[in-house]
Chain A
Amino acid sequence: MTRALIIGATSAIAEATARGLARRGAALYLVGRNAQRVAAIAADLRTRGASQVEQEAMDVNDFAAHEAMLDRAMRAAGGLDIVLIAHGTLSDQQACEESVQLTMHELSTNALSVVALCTRIAPRLSAQGGGTLAVISSVAADRGRRSNYVYGSAKALVSAYLSGLRQRLSPAGVQVLTIKPGFVDTPMTAAFAKGPLWASPQRIAAGILSAIDKRRDVVYLPGFWRPVMWIIRMIPERIFKRVAL
């Protein structure tokens, strides 16, 4: 039986991934900011086949709360096979440009809280002698663009951090998986017409579970984003600065 801790459990991608794990009969420990919504998701996952579901409400920016949460999650199922870090906010770029405070807050939510969590999770998985640390980054991490560079740079920090952590934990048999989704169709984006670049949370979740099963390192979801982002990374800066992206 798989034992998984999911941080940011109310996000659409996390919820879809949790449903995939529930169908496999996994034991789940859910963490999210809104207690009522986390409890509703827990009840849903029990119905969908999870062997055990526990939950707690926590704000990831409360770094001091991380340690005790991790203790409880480890104790709940006697260890952890998968830790999925899925929380995040889609920063309002324009508002960030006008507010240092908001920018710092976005960086804290999307980058620093992830680093704080990973710092505490790494020794635990290492001591266990295995497991998977899967973290949702973004294709936006691959290059700063003027439309969302606060969000993108936060995710870039996460990606670089995970790359180093992967080297460190690899000898201990711990998989560190960087997940880079593209455009995802969620309730937050209901207003927009969806072109072929958009993917459902179910499709992203299936890609995450398959990447965990295959012990991959970095996945773009869907896979077509890998060549697309390669091209975007290859554009010289002197041209890129004049492109509206």
Chain B
Amino acid sequence: MQRGPPRIVSSWGNVARGEHHVYGFRSRFEDFPDIPGESTILPFGNGRSYGDSCLNVGGALLETRFLDRFIRFDADQGILGCEAGVQLADILRVVVPAGWLPCVLPGTQYVTVGGAIANDVHGKNHHRAGTFGCHVTRFELLRPDGERMSCSAQETPDWFAATIGGLGLTGLVTWAEMRLRRVAGPWLDVESIRCADLHELLELSMESAKDFEYTVAWVDCLAQGRRLGRGIVQRANHAGSGATGRRPAAGAGFAVPFAPPVSVVNSATLRLCNAGHYHRRARRTRTVEHYQRFFFPLDGIRHWNRLYGPRGFHQYQCLIPGESAAESVRRLLGAIAAAGEGSLLAVLKCFGDRASPGLLSFPRSGITLALDFPNRGAALAALFERLDAIVAQSGGRLYPAKDARMPGRLFRAGYPRLEEFLRFTHPRCSSSFWRRVMARA
């Protein structure tokens, strides 16, 4: 493998970017590449992390795009083994026709299995299924020094817990095996219910968790006063085998061909979109939706991240645990609405209490709130500081996969098992995120 000149790599939010030496990896039998003595390296899947957790500016990236072979699919037992660069989209193409589905699906199918493990991603069924890592049965970890480890919760509980949610810092996951869940077909019965304020929205979200496998809420982040936290709760279950609905159009659909010179998302367009979305449909609607539309509404628009213009965007995803979570969420939404910032993408979800397997896994019992913000520099930074203060006071945490700016102390306070995790990182593995949050300033 030749070492070429460094090249610019950026992540999904387009706020973090920089030069990297990029190494390819094409088969799970291959050795870890030789990198120069002083350099560090980070496994890189499909680059769908929003901030700098998937970047290693000034160092090296190990691309897993071509590490994308299925190893085995047991269609009777629902077990799938594959290399780490396989994307969830590829898995769906193979397993859905056979009546199976991955147990946990995040908001995009264009993530690799390795990335889903390294960030221990979650989905709309967290209150039932927990995180992606809860369903991973085993994987192989290849350390930069060449050591190969077969990891499972039984054989190597410590390495297993460190690598799931471990941000790629323990080494390269070369392959993984996971359990799937049975589905009768690709359809879901979806109910959408409009809620006039935060109280109603949270009540309905909590209540829906009992009878619905999937729950998620969209929040109108500009609504203030008595309308604060108004939104739409979406809840769904898999439909029976007889169900059918409108199939998504074949092919990749619409693409944003280039980044417009300024963000298309601004306060004027946002006000219109949010009000429109809130009032678009009847108070309560029931539909049958294809899983592609239900799980991955944004995947229909390729390169949607370009809509935010060349300055990119930040996502702020926090988790507030405990009894007083509702009050903290009210304060967060109040601060955001008062600043008039945000975007159409504002999502609230009540996590369940199934324990996450990773030492650094983001999800835990509580309420998570995720919002996109066009990058407007200092004004946005000031808002983030106000939000950080509320998160810190509530004993909450931010999600590294979405982050390009959290202060190190907020990260260290939010992840109490950090000290334990440090025993498993490899000195040759690092990331821009890691250096940023671990720098003691």
Closest-by-CB residue of B relative to A42 is: B69
Partner pick for B66 among A40, A43, A186, CB 8 A cutoff: A186
B352 in the interface, Cβ–Cβ < 8 Å?
no
Q: Are B69 and A193 in contact (CB under 8 A)?
A: no
> Is A190's beta carbon under 8 Å from chain B?
yes
| In the complex, number of A-B residue pairs with CB atoms less than 8 Å apart | 60
Which residues of chain B are within 8 angstroms of A41 by Cβ–Cβ distance?
Answer: 69
Specify which chain B residues have a CB less than 8 angstroms from the CB of A167 in the assembled complex.
Answer: none
Q: How far is the CB of B244 from chain A (nearest CB, A)?
A: 23
Q: In the complex, A36 Cα to B71 Cα: how many Å? A: 12
Q: Pick the contact of B72: A43, A48, A49, A186 (CB < 8 A).
A: A43
A 5-49 to B, binary, CB cutoff 8 A, 1 in contact else 0? 000000010000000000000000000000011001101100111
User: Given the complex of chains A and B, what is the CA–CA distance between A98 and B27 in angstroms?
Assistant: 32
Is A192 in contact with chain B by the CB < 8 A criterion? yes
Q: Give every chain B residue within 8 A of A47 (Cβ-Cβ).
A: 70-73, 94
Tell me whether A36 and B69 are in contact in the complex, defined as CB-CB below 8 angstroms, given that A191-B1, A191-B3 are known contacts.
no
Q: Does residue A187 face the partner (Cβ distance < 8 Å to B)?
A: yes
Instruction: List chain B residues, Cβ under 8 A from A48.
Output: 70, 94
Residues on B with C-beta less than 8 A from A44 are: 69-71
Interface presence of A188 (CB below 8 A): yes
The residue in B24, B69, B73, B94 that gathers the most chain A C-beta atoms within 10 A of its C-beta is B69
A44's closest neighbor in chain B, by CB?
B69
Interface size (B, Cβ < 8 Å)? 25
Chain B, range 35-73, C-beta contacts under 8 Å to A? 63, 65-66, 69-73
Q: Is B364 an interface residue, CB under 8 A from the partner?
A: no
| A40 and B24 contacting across the interface, CB-CB below 8 Å | no
Check if B139 is an interface residue, CB within 8 A of chain A. Answer: no
Which of A40, A186, A192 sits near B7, CB closer than 8 Å?
A: A192
Interface membership of A189, Cβ < 8 A: yes
Q: Closest residue of chain A to B22, judged by CB?
A: A190
Tell which of A40, A43, A190, A193 touches B1, judged by Cβ atoms closer than 8 Å: A190
Closest to A194 in B: B7
Query: Which residues from B are CB-within-8-Å of A36?
Result: 29
Q: Tell me the smallest distance from the CB of B17 to a CB of chain A, in Å.
A: 13
B421 within 8 A of A: no
- Give the CA-CA distance A190 to B5 in the complex, in Å: 11
Query: Residue B241 at the A interface, CB < 8 A?
Result: no
The answer to the question of B349 belonging to the interface, with a C-beta cut-off of 8 Å to chain A, is no
**B22-A191 in contact (CB<8A):** yes
**A43-B72, A47-B73 known; A191 vs B4 contact (CB < 8 Å):** yes
B57-94 CB contact bits vs A (8 Å, 1 = yes)?
00000010110011111000000000000000000001
Nearest CB on A from B428, distance (A): 18
Cα-based distance from A186 to B66 in the complex (angstroms): 8
A40 pairs with B94, CB closer than 8 A: no
Q: Closest residue to B26 on the A side, CB-wise?
A: A187
A44 to B3, CA, bound (A): 29
B24 engages A43 (CB within 8 Å): no
Chain B residues whose CB sits within 8 angstroms of the CB of A188 once the complex forms? 1, 24
Q: Does B324 sit within 8 A of A, measured CB to CB? A: no
User: Size range of the interface on A?
Assistant: 10 to 19
Q: Which of A43, A47, A48 has the most CB of B within 10 A?
A: A47
**Closest residue of chain A to B95, judged by CB?**
A47
Contact B8 A193 (CB under 8 A): yes
B29 contact set on A, CB distance < 8 A: 36-37, 40
Give Cα distance in the complex from A44 to B94, angstroms: 11
Q: Which of B4, B25, B26, B71 contacts A192 (CB 8 A)?
A: B4
**In the bound complex, CA of A23 to CA of B69 (Å):** 14
Q: Closest residue to B64 on the A side, CB-wise?
A: A187
Q: Given that A186-B24, A191-B21 are contacting pairs, would A40 and B69 also be in contact in the complex, using a CB cutoff of 8 Å?
A: yes
- B28 contacts the other chain (Cβ, under 8 Å)? yes
B23 interface contact, C-beta 8 A: yes
Q: How far is the CB of A17 from chain B (nearest CB, A)?
A: 15
CA gap between A129 and B88 in the complex, in Å? 43
Would B73 and A40 count as touching, CB distance under 8 A?
no
Contacts A40-B28, A48-B94: A190 and B63 contacting too (C-beta < 8 A)?
Answer: yes
Q: Counting CB contacts under 8 A, is B2 at the interface?
A: yes
B94 in contact with A187 (CB, 8 Å): no
Q: Mark B116-131, 1 if CB is under 8 A from A, else 0.
A: 0000000000000000
- CB-CB under 8 A from B5, the residues of chain A are 191-193
Cα distance A41–B71 when bound, in Å? 9
Known contacts A12-B66, A44-B70, A48-B94; is-contact A37 B27 (Cβ 8 Å) = yes
Q: Which residues, 1 to 23 on B, are CB-close (under 8 Å) to A?
A: 1-5, 7-8, 21-23
A40 to B21, CA, bound (A): 28
> What distance in Å separates the Cβ of B71 from its nearest Cβ neighbour in chain A?
6
Chain A contacts for B69, CB-based, 8 A: 40-41, 43-44
Contact indicator A40/B27 (Cβ below 8 Å): yes
Q: A47-B72, A47-B94, A48-B70 are in contact. Are A187 and B24 (CB under 8 A)?
A: yes
- B72-A187 in contact (CB<8A): no
The contact sample of 12 A-B pairs, CB cut-off 8 A, is A40-B27, A40-B69, A47-B70, A47-B94, A186-B26, A187-B65, A189-B24, A191-B1, A191-B7, A192-B4, A192-B5, A192-B7
3 closest A-B pairs by CB: A190-B24, A191-B4, A187-B24
